[in-house]
Amino acid sequence: MTDAAELKRRTAQLLADFPPAETDRLDFLKARFDAGLAWVHYPEGLGGLGAPRSLQAVVDAELEAADAPDNDPRRIGIGLGMAAPTILKYGTDEQKQLLRPLWVGEEVWCQLFSEPGAGSDLAALGTRAVRQGGDWVVNGQKVWTSSAHLARWAILIARTDPDVPKHRGITYFICDMTDPGVEVRPLRQITGEAEFNEVFLTDVRIPDSRRLGEVGDGWRVAQTTLNNERVAIGGMRLPREGGMIGPVSRTWRERPDLRTHDLHQRLLKLWVEAEVARLTGERLRQQMVVGQPGPEGAGMKLAFARLNQEISGLEVELLGEEGLLYEDWTMRRPELVDFTGRDAGYRYLRSKGNSIEGGTSEVLLNIVAERVLGLPSEPRNDKDVAWKDLAR
């Protein structure tokens, strides 16, 4: 049984064998993974020790105190938060070997789920994968793909059987973004930059060995990804006044000349809501210690999007004319999203995407209503209709 004392011992040994000040950052991260201290709840040999998930905080605290390097969750968040738990649950032994370069950040991952023709109805996707011998030949288009311009690998869902209802004819794959036929085009956003992309797949050959789960079972596999995605976006660990509420609170304290009674009341309300959301996220992570994330993550992601948009709107109002300034409209393709390190104009514009990425707020409201509150589901006339017969 691996307990806190054992983890402290192993962490001390790691620091002794690979002193952070004298060891290359990537070499240290690889050594940490090999020591089972990357994500301690994963199995041995895959970056963990099969320990309780709650004990990860013990390792993190020891390494932080030693000023040891860490990976960059903002840059590799899709791999860490979405691809890794799905591969762990459904992957073959060969596929699980992708976890090491994923965790240390050698390889970036992206998510090829959304499509321009499916909108919020992900199960209506039309990208086709056709079996040809030991390969699958994939054709289609994906959209709103974060980090596709950086990614080596992608998690991909495609339609493999158009003759059954839409949820049952989907299969889940791992796609090599460097393969012939994969084309990434930038999508310039309201912020001026192109963090998102559209991806065109033309006769891309994916070996069957890169299929995750059974043929036709892709929707069930994708639920693992989606549930973890919502927690990764909406349930991130933050200190008090972390996230969007931090910059506007600092402005309020430092600029008394901007204060009004109305803005004060609104700030108090949003500050309390942000703190409630932060504490709710802590409780959700405690629940995850004993199992996989459930539909509660949808509620957290909903709150995250709404709060970000309301808080950034308040910040722009508080700053007045200054809030209308935006420092840089240069077209660029960033490696990560940095809300707090940019100006108020950027935060206001970028937060508009929060209610779309990771599942639209409208879809998440349905999930909360049906799976958390137990309300009757909406009528679905297409539930038993073959995908090929659906109007599109």
Provide the annotated active-site residues.
Answer: 229
Q: List, as one string, the DSSP characters of 120-170.
A: T-GGG---EEEEETTEEEEEEEE-S-TTTTT-SEEEEEEES-TTSBGGGSE
Largest CA distance in the chain: 71
Q: Is 229 helix (H, G, I), strand (E, B) or coil?
A: helix
Alpha carbon 2 to its chain centroid, in Å, reads 29
Backbone angles phi, psi at 139, to 5 degrees: -135, 135
Contacts 24+ apart (CB under 8 A), 234-238: 234/281, 234/297, 234/299, 234/300, 234/301, 234/302, 234/303, 234/304, 234/305, 234/358, 235/281, 235/284, 235/285, 235/293, 235/297, 235/300, 235/301, 236/281, 237/281, 237/282, 237/285, 238/278, 238/281
- Whether residue 244 contacts residue 339, with contact meaning beta carbons closer than 8 Å, is answered with yes
Distance CA 349, CA 337 (A): 12
Which secondary structure element, helix H or strand E, spans residue 348, and what is its range? helix 344-350
Bridge partner list, 128: 139, 159
Distance CA 83, CA 87 (A): 6
Contacts of 102 (CB under 8 A, 6+ apart): 76, 79, 80, 83, 84, 109, 153
- Please tell me what DSSP assigns to residue 355: G
Contacts of 12 (CB under 8 A, 6+ apart): 62
